[in-house]
Chains A and B, each alone.
Chain A
Amino acid sequence: MEELKEICDDQIRVIGEGASKKPLPRRVWIVILTVLGIVIAGVIILIVSLYKAEQARKLTIPEPALFEPVEVQETVEHTWIGESIDSLATGYTEMKDTLINDIPMRIFIPHNAELSLHIGKMNKEDKSVIYTAQAADVRADNGGIVGAFVLKGEPRAWGLSKKGFCASINGEVTMGVAENSPLFEKATEEGGYFFRQYPLVSNGKVVENELKGKSIRRAICDRRGEVFMVETGTIESFHDFAQALVDLGVDQAVSLVGSSAYGWAVDNAGTMHEFGEDNYYTGRRRMPKNTSYIVWRRKQ
């Protein structure tokens, strides 16, 4: 029997209002509960499928960002041009032939060697040399070296006819473009080497030179700290050569004496590979006494 609330003398209550109606038959309750169960199951399935669809959508469509997404480029591991060798191995020059912008180029990568300069004829019997090529130009009028030149701390020439420079001080090779470089003084003070030549590449960009004409081109280059020399297999303009070096990934490059200027490289088998003309200065043609060379010697 339904419990009724207590009543006070000041209250009235209509009897029967709110009284529970006759309970539904059991089979009606079964039908209602079955339908309710089906509806609940349907709702759950719908919610789950919507959730899965939303998850799939999230996987395919990026979330709207508050800020423009910043594309993080994958770090591309730098690859050296030259091979990696043991630091105690005997020095040699690795040579690689490549073709850039239809320009055949030979790359000379010195290993376990140190850069110095030399003035005068090179001694081919000097087995410590693994690479040499003519460095600074020589004046036609008086046979002097064009541009500032420091040989083992001794200034041998002064002047700024070419803005490119290359220095080797305490085993560290630096090249660049500058009218005044403190490296000249530093090379002088610390027994280093310094010379000037036409700049070809500065900070990864071509340096335009007024010099026209085509020739076999040579250069000393710095590519992310890897120093090597390049020689074209065909005659090229300064611009095309410099552009090819840029495309090679060179950061800094300074020209070396091109054309038939003599030099050689010694590979890891000890074989000497000469380039240019060794017999150019024969007969009446005499080699200028201030002919200079970059010389890579094996580290002791």
Chain B
Amino acid sequence: MKKQLVISTSIDLVRIAPERIVYIASDGNYSTLVQTDNEVRMLSYQLGQIEKMISSQLGSEGNIFIRIGKSLIINRSYIYYINIPKQKLILSDVVSFNHTVTASKEALKQLKELIEKETK
């Protein structure tokens, strides 16, 4: 059985397969989780805490996620388009969802190089 990410608080719990997460964005002391079904979920954890949860629960399987800067964790499976000058990153399965996020030029450049490197 594939590992699932469990994010729990004192009053509720979210259990989700990693591949169902498109990205997680920082929102102050909270985080916003965007699912492949286009649903958006607010989490009462900072992004750094979410990153730790992914790392500890999924281990090496967590490497489908990439932390970009201080405010974004993306699922690399859905990287569809990178435009460095426009600081534009589109995450999409090209079927059911299409999300545009922004990041620094340097971060996008590194992301582009990482993808290029992994495809060689």
Contact = CB atoms under 8 A, between A and B. Distances in A.
Interface of A: 1-4, 7-17, 19-22
B2 to A, nearest CB: 14
B107 A4 contact: no
Nearest to A10: B106
A15 B54 CA distance: 7
Contacts of A15: 51, 54-55, 58, 62-63, 65-67, 73
A14 B69 CA distance: 11
A10 B63 contact: no
Contacts of A10: 69, 104, 106-107
Contact of A4 (B48, B66, B69): B48
Contacts of A17: 60, 63
B55 A7 contact: no
Contacts of B63: 14-17
The B contact surface, by secondary structure, is helix
A7 B54 CA distance: 16
Q: Chain A interface secondary structure, helix, strand, loop or mixed? A: loop
Contact of A19 (B60, B64, B66, B76): B60
A175 B88 CA distance: 122
Contact of A13 (B60, B66, B106): B66
A21 B55 CA distance: 11
A2 B107 contact: no
The 5 closest A-B pairs by CB, nearest first: A16-B62, A9-B69, A10-B106, A16-B63, A15-B65
Contacts of B48: 4
Given A16-B63, A19-B62, A8 B70 contact: yes
Given A11-B69, A15-B54, 20 more contacts: A4-B55, A7-B67, A7-B69, A12-B67, A12-B69, A12-B110, A12-B114, A14-B63, A14-B65, A14-B66, A15-B51, A15-B58, A15-B65, A15-B66, A16-B64, A16-B65, A19-B60, A20-B59, A21-B59, A21-B60
Nearest to B53: A1
Contacts of B114: 12, 14
B62 A4 contact: no
